Structure 1
Amino acid sequence: MFEAALAALHQILTPPFRSVLYKSLGLTLLLLALAWAGLDKLALSLVAVDHPLLHSILTFATGAGLVIFLAFLIGPVSILVTGFFIDDLAAHVEQEIYPMGRIGRPVPASAAIGMTLRFALVSAAVNFVALLLLLVPGINAVAFFLANAYLFGREYFAFAATRFRSAAEADDMRQHYMPRIFLAGLLIAGFVATPGLNLLTPMFATAFMVRIHKKLSPELSEP
C-alpha cells in the first residue's frame, strides 16, 4: 500500500498531472474570485449603513467572513473542477501499470458527472462537519480523519473499479475489501487535512486508488 502511495506521489509530479493541476487551479481560483465578488456585493447590498465607522466595520467583517467561507470551499471546488479531468488521469495511470490492452473504459458521461458532484458534496460535507467539530476538543481531529478516510476511500475506489466493472460489481468489491480501502483512505485523509496539499487530493487519490484496485484485481494483471 505504501509502495502504491509513493508511486502515486511521484506520478502527480509528471507533466500530464501537472497540466491538470494548472488547469484545475486556474479554474478554481476563477470560480472563487467570481464567488467573492458576487457574495461581497450581495452582503453589502442587504444591509444599508450610512455611518462611516459602522460601514467600515461591516465591510471588514464581511471580508473576513468571506475569506473563511471561501477557504473552506477551496477543497470541494478543486475536487469539482478536477473531476472533469479524472478519467484522463486514470487512463494515464492505467497505461503505466497495466499490461497492453487492459486499460479501463471511460465512465459514462452521466455517471462521471454524478461522481464528480458526489466527490465535491462529500468533501464539502466532511469539511463542514470538521469545522463544527473544532468546537469539541478531543474528537475533532479523530472524527475528521476517520470520516475522510471512509468517504474518500470509498468514492475514489468506486471510480477506479467502475472503469473495469459494473457499478454493482464495483460496490460488491468495495464492500469485500473495505478494511484495506479504509486504510488506503487514511492516506488520502492526510492530503485532505494538509493546507496546500488538499488541492492535490483528486490527483493523488486517483493515481493511488487505480493502483489499489489493480492490487486487489490480480486477474487484470494477466496479459
Structure 2
Amino acid sequence: MIIEAARLSGRNLVSPASRSVLFKSLGLTVLLLTGLWFGLGEAFSVFAMPWLENLLPGLPDWAGWAGTVAAIIAGIGLALVLALFVAPVTAAMAGLFLDDIAEVIETRDYPEETPGRAMPLMQSIRQSLGFLLVVGLGNLFALVLLLVPGINIAAFFLVNGYLLGREYFEFAAMRFMSPADAKRLRSRHSTTIFFAGLIIAAFLSVPLFNLLTPMFAAGMMVHLHKMIAARTQARPH
C-alpha cells in the first residue's frame, strides 16, 4: 500500500494535469529558500564576520589562509543550515497547495468518489503555520542530534519521517473529516503512516528532488488516505 501510494505520487509529478500546481509549488519553494540563503548570509556577515576580523589580526602572517578556510567553512555551514530549512519550508508549502494537488488526483484517479472539501483560506494558513512550526522545531532538535556520532543520520529520518508523515496525512484526511477525526484516523494507522513518512524523508534527503517534496508528499498521502479509507470501509462491522 505504501509503495503503491509512492508510485502513484511519482506518476503525478510528471502528469500534465499537475503541471500548473508543480510550477507554482516549485517556484514558491525556490523563492523562499533563496530568501533564506541571503538572510542567513546577511546574519553571518553581521554577527560572525566582526568576530573573525577581531580574531585574525592577532594571528601570524599566514592568518590570511585562516580567513580563507573560515570563509569556506562558513559557506558549507550555511549550506547545511539551509538544507535543514528545506523540511519546514516544504511543510509550509503543503498547506498552500495540498488542496490543488488533491483535486487533480481525486478528479483523475477517483472520479466515482465524492471529492473532498478544500479548507477555508484562513484555516489553511493556520495549518501551514502550525505545520511550519512543528517541523521547524523537530528539525532544530535533529540539528542538535547531528552533532552526536552514530545517530545523526538516523535522527534526521526518524524526526522527519514521523512529523512529515503525520502532518501530510492529516492534511489529506481533513478534506473529508474534522481535524479531531483526522487525528484519530492517523493514530489508528500510525505505523503505516510513519513508514510512509520515512519515504517522504528519503525523498527530502535527495538534493534538487527535495524541492518537489510538497508535491510528492501531498500526492502520496492523498493516495494513502484513499487506500486506508477504502480498506476501513471494506471491513465487516
Name the TM tier (shorter chain): 0.7 to 0.9
CA contact (8 A) 2:94 2:218 kept: no
Partner of 1:118 in structure 2? 130
Distance 1:163 1:149, change over 3 A: same
Q: Is 1:162–1:170's contact at 8 Å kept on the other side of the alignment?
A: yes
Letter in 1 for 2:205: A
Q: Secondary structure at the match of 1:211?
A: helix
How big is the shift at 1:194?
2.4
Q: Tell me, in whole angstroms, the C-alpha distance in 2 between the residues paired with 1:219 and 1:65.
A: 46
State the distance in 2 between where 1:173 and 1:94 align.
20
1:163 aligns with 2:175: yes
Q: Is the 8 A contact 1:126 1:144 kept in 2?
A: no
CA contact (8 A) 1:98 1:220 kept: no
Checking the alignment, whether the CA contact within 8 Å between 1:102 and 1:220 is kept in structure 2 is no
Report what 2:214 is aligned to.
Answer: 202
Distance change (3 Å), C-alpha of 1:56 and 1:32: same
Say if 1:152 and 1:189, in contact at 8 Å, map to a contact too: yes
Match of 1:108 among 120, 124, 129: 120
Instruction: Report the alpha carbon displacement of residue 163 of structure 1 after superposing the two structures with TM.
Output: 0.4
| Cα deviations by residue, 1:158-210 (Å, 9 ceiling, x for unpaired) | 11111011112112211122222222222222212222222222211111111
Gaps of 5+ in 2: 58-63
Q: Distance in 2 between matches of 1:40 and 1:112?
A: 31
What SS does the corresponding residue of 1:107 show, helix, strand or coil?
coil
Distance 1:43 1:183, change over 3 A: closer
- Alpha-carbon distance in structure 2 between the residues aligned to 1:138 and 1:113: 38
Q: Indicate whether 1:31 and 2:32 are aligned.
A: yes
Q: Which residue matches 1:77?
A: 89
Q: 1:61: Cα distance to partner?
A: 6.2
Distance in structure 1 (CA, Å) of the matches to 2:76 and 2:198: 32
Q: Report the TM-score when normalising by structure 2.
A: 0.77
Q: Could you say if the C-alpha distance between residues 36 and 181 of structure 1 is closer, same or farther in structure 2, counting changes exceeding 3 Å?
A: closer
1:61-96 residue CA offsets vs partner (Å, 9 max, x unmatched)? 655543333333233223323531221101111112
- Cross-structure match for 2:61: none
CA contact (8 A) 2:157 2:202 kept: yes
The 3 A distance-change label for structure 1 pair 98 and 144 is same
Choose the corresponding residue for 1:187, options 199, 204, 226: 199
- Whichever of the two has the greater Rg, that structure is 2
Give 1:19's aligned residue. Answer: 20
Q: Percent identity at matched positions?
A: 44
Farther-moved stretch of structure 1 (140-149 vs 63-72): 63-72
Report the more deviating stretch, 188-197 or 119-128. 119-128
- Distance in 1, matches of 2:106 and 2:228, equals 14
Deviates more, 1:40-49 or 1:66-75: 40-49
User: Normalising to structure 1: TM-score of the pair?
Assistant: 0.81
Q: C-alpha displacement at 1:41, in angstroms?
A: 4.2
**RMSD of aligned C-alpha atoms?**
3.1
> Structure 1 residue 130: deviation in Å?
2.6
Q: CA shift at 1:25, angstroms? A: 3.0
> Compared with structure 1, are the counterparts of its residues 104 and 147 closer, same or farther at alpha carbon in structure 2 (3 Å cutoff)?
same
In 1, distance between residues paired with 2:148 and 2:100? 41
Matched pairs, number: 222
